[in-house]
Structure 1
């Protein structure tokens, strides 16, 4: 008899217990415990500066992977290619005129590339240093070529031709710092090769050395052909002023 009473009691009280709970409480299930996020492993470091993709033109993104590889030698070589790509992509967006503002715009557009090349030169072996120095010199040369192309073509007549030449001469003066920096890179190539004559057996070094010497000789010849700057006469050398009587004669 007692088991029957117990069964009746459970039958009577169990629905009441469920009735005391709201529908939301009855349907709610314990939320699964979220797994703790696993941190992605940091990429192996090659000891070089990190590269921010936001500062790299999209067309150059495929080169970033190799430029950040843990293999230091491979990364350094890849960064030379990356620097050239970045400079080319940024320069292509500029609308240049033969003015100082455009010269500054070209400087700004290539600053990142020169920073990359300088890092390579500071960390690479002798051969890679030479390749990076040559890349710097050629970039300065290409910058000058782009700027000189911004001078409008001369019009018809002597006056238009003279104006064209004047504008070109003024621009050439603005570009002098680039020529000096290119020459400095060529001089560095010669110095590195002279410090270790065995490097010349490398065809890349031999070509860079020959080009550097040719450019430096041409620079010297151009400088020698320039007329010496005019020097204003001192008061002692200046001709005496004509007297009033002489002026009347």
Structure 2
């Protein structure tokens, strides 16, 4: 305890003066989280692999009044992962907040699941997520003894779902993201770096388009306690909380934002 006066919740959530790198920031959940961080005052770098989408997202963020730099990068490529870390640090000066959102999915029954799909999902969702985090950590966060890392997992990390989706590689990769989050939190707490994860459920997005086309929104929310899909505001609060001093004593945690799906059991 100190004699410093307690800050208000507005002060704890304020990100003015902070910097953030959001991967997969050109659309969907990544763009929503970039908006949230910008609204809280952070300077932004967003990355994506498609230049048109990236520039359109940067224009949208700038029109909303946010300080943002778009950096093109294909995070399936190891050299581009390392290059992104270096370029983002050069642009921002340092990285306070890293949001590991870029990811891929591949749906197929386990008995027919191709190694191509397994390797694609594992490379982007696990291997190169680790690589980017390692580079940002040792080049920026550890030397400054400050960092907020937010990994985007999924409620698919909890187990499988044979009725709506068969994607054993994706589920496995998101389970790995959860374990990575906890393991890194244990290690990097000594450097005053927090590491937490958000586990979204069903959100209307490009990644979930196949599921929505197959089952429709009604089919996807049939077993959701809140009877709704996620929207373009649902991740904002958790993102700012984990990025700010409001969660300064919270690390190694996973917050599922899925309308209550993760609270359900079979039977």
Shorter-normalised TM-score: what interval? Answer: 0.3 to 0.5
Highest CA radius of gyration, 1 or 2? 1
- TM-score of the aligned structures, taking structure 2 as reference length: 0.33
- TM-score of the aligned structures, taking structure 1 as reference length: 0.34
